[in-house]
Amino acid sequence: MRTLLIARLTFDEAFRRKMILAVLLLSLVFLALYVFGFRLLHDDLMRYRQERLGRPDELLPYDVQASAMVLLGLYTVNFLAGIMTIFAAVGSISGEIEAGTLQSILPKPISRWEIIAGKYLGFLAMIAVYLGLMVGGVILVSRVVGHYMPPNVFRGLLLMILVSAILLALTMLGSTVFSTMANGIVVLMLYGMALTGGLVEQVGTALDNDTMVRIGVITSVVLPSDSMWRLASNVVQPEMAVNLLGPTPFGTISPPSEFAVRYAIAYCAVLVVASAVAFNRRDI
């Protein structure tokens, strides 16, 4: 199966080129800081609670605070994974055209769609491994240091993989059409737009501003990565935390629907097919 061969090549390349290792190393630094921060929060809250023992508790319940801390951790991981996805895949096709490596691959008995599909799966596997490790790390810190276990972690992880799968599909499509440099610019701009759009939507919700909410909805149609993140953030928080915290830059009180998830998955599929079509037409 040549698709899997290309997938493995893509996956191996990420490791051999030490890209994944560099990212993991930096991510370990982040996790170390995260342990430190979570410990401070936990100890502070416990001390505060001790001091106010017996008096009515004006603080938010501990779970809500810990949940906010988990959310911050996952938000960072999600952001890192998104950036990593874009940078890993930005030259997936254009870079190989520019380097000339495709000239010896394409004349082999392999179809161009198999190369697209293989690369997509290879990158996706790499991202899934990364997210699995990082989300696992955040949850582990929360349990061990913060004595708090967020709900629906696995579902949250899948949604976060979906976030990166969306960005990956967009980056790969761009890579079959644009040069590596142009693609990087276009994808980062769209990524920024989705992030800002999501933020505008939260602000709009808080201010009860329909136009701002609509801007958020439109950006999540153009690029549903941020809306899938908000859904992920929603499922890993206890309902109490969502209600108490209200709309935040990192979460939402009105999670996207099941339809939005299906839309996001279809979005990936359509973009991957479009990549194959565009690549098929391209002169190497």
Partner 1 sequence: MPADDLAVAAEPARLAVETRALRKVFGAFVAVDDLTIAVGEGEVFGFLGPNGAGKTTSVKMLMGLTRPTSGEARLLDRPLGNREARRRIGFLPEMFRFHDWLTGAELLDLHARLYGMTDAERRRRVPEVLHLVGMYGRRDERLRAYSKGMQQRIGLAQALLPDPKLVILDEPTSALDPIGRLDVRTIIQSLRAEGRTVFLNSHLLSEVESVCDRVAIINRGRVAATGPMRELLSRELLVELRLGRIDDDVERLIARFGSIRDVARDPLRPAIVTVEMGDEEAVARLIDALVAASVPVFGATPHHRSLEELFFEVVETTPERSEP
Residue 22 within binding range of partner 1, rule CB under 8 A: no
Binders of partner 1: how many residues, by CB under 8 A?
21
Q: Which stretch binds partner 1 (CB under 8 A): 71-79, 93-101, 122-130, 223-231?
A: 93-101
Cβ atoms 237, 63 nearer than 8 A: no
On the CB side of 78, CA atoms within 13 Å amount to 28
Nearest CA among 102, 110, 101 for reference residue 1: 110
Q: Which stretch binds partner 1 (CB under 8 A): 61-69, 105-113, 139-147, 262-270?
A: 105-113
- For residue 244, what are the contacts with CB-CB under 8 A and spacing of at least 6? 60, 61, 64
Token pair for 30: 């982040």
Q: How far is the CB of 95 from partner 1 (least distance, A)?
A: 11
Nearest CA among 58, 61, 62, 57 for reference residue 43: 62
Residue 5 within binding range of partner 1, rule CB under 8 A: yes
Binding test (CB under 8 A) with partner 1, winner from 7, 9, 34, 151 = 9
Binding test (CB under 8 A) with partner 1, winner from 51, 54, 56, 108 = 108
Residue 101 within binding range of partner 1, rule CB under 8 A: yes
C-beta closer to partner 1: residue 56 or 100: 100
Token pair for 125: 């596997």
Nearest CA among 257, 260, 258 for reference residue 225: 260
Q: Which stretch binds partner 1 (CB under 8 A): 69-77, 133-141, 191-199, 276-284?
A: 276-284
SS3 60: coil
Residue 21 within binding range of partner 1, rule CB under 8 A: no
Q: Which residues contact partner 1 (rule: CB under 8 A)?
A: 2, 5, 9, 13, 16-17, 99-110, 281, 283-284
